[in-house]
Amino acid sequence: MTAYIIGQMEIHSRDWMDEYFAKMPDLVKRHNGAFKVRGGKPEQLEGEGKMPDAAFVIEFPDRSHATSFWNSDEFQSLAVLRRTGSTLNAILTDAVE
């Protein structure tokens, strides 16, 4: 069953972004994933929580591919870099099929 990693990011500095975003598309693709949403202009439609600076949705064939990506050494190294200038809230969820 198709699975999605959905994230909301608050950006504190941009020093990490060039390296991170240069490597992410290829890494996602190597794990059979595809960005469905990346960045954008989040707009609040309901609720009172703080809006993220950026949002993303990555589609994977299944949870196994998604968790393999997330737990990979390469992604975890990039996550350490990302954490130097941002805060991320991310979830893994299944598609409706």
Percent of the chain with pLDDT over 90: 94
Q: DSSP 3-state helix, strand, coil percentages of the chain (rounded to 5)?
A: 35, 30, 35
Query: What is the distance between the alpha carbons of residues 72 and 27, in angstroms, rounded to a whole number?
Result: 10
pLDDT of residue 97: 78
Q: What would the mean pLDDT of 5-20 be, rounded to a whole number? A: 96
pLDDT higher than threshold 80 for residue 40 = no
Q: Which domains does the chain have, with CATH numbers?
A: 3-42+52-94 (3.30.70.100)
- Summarised one tens digit per residue, pLDDT across range 57-97 is 999 999 999 999 999 999 999 999 999 999 999 999 999 97
pTM of the model: 0.93
∠ CA 20-17-47, rounded to 5°: 105
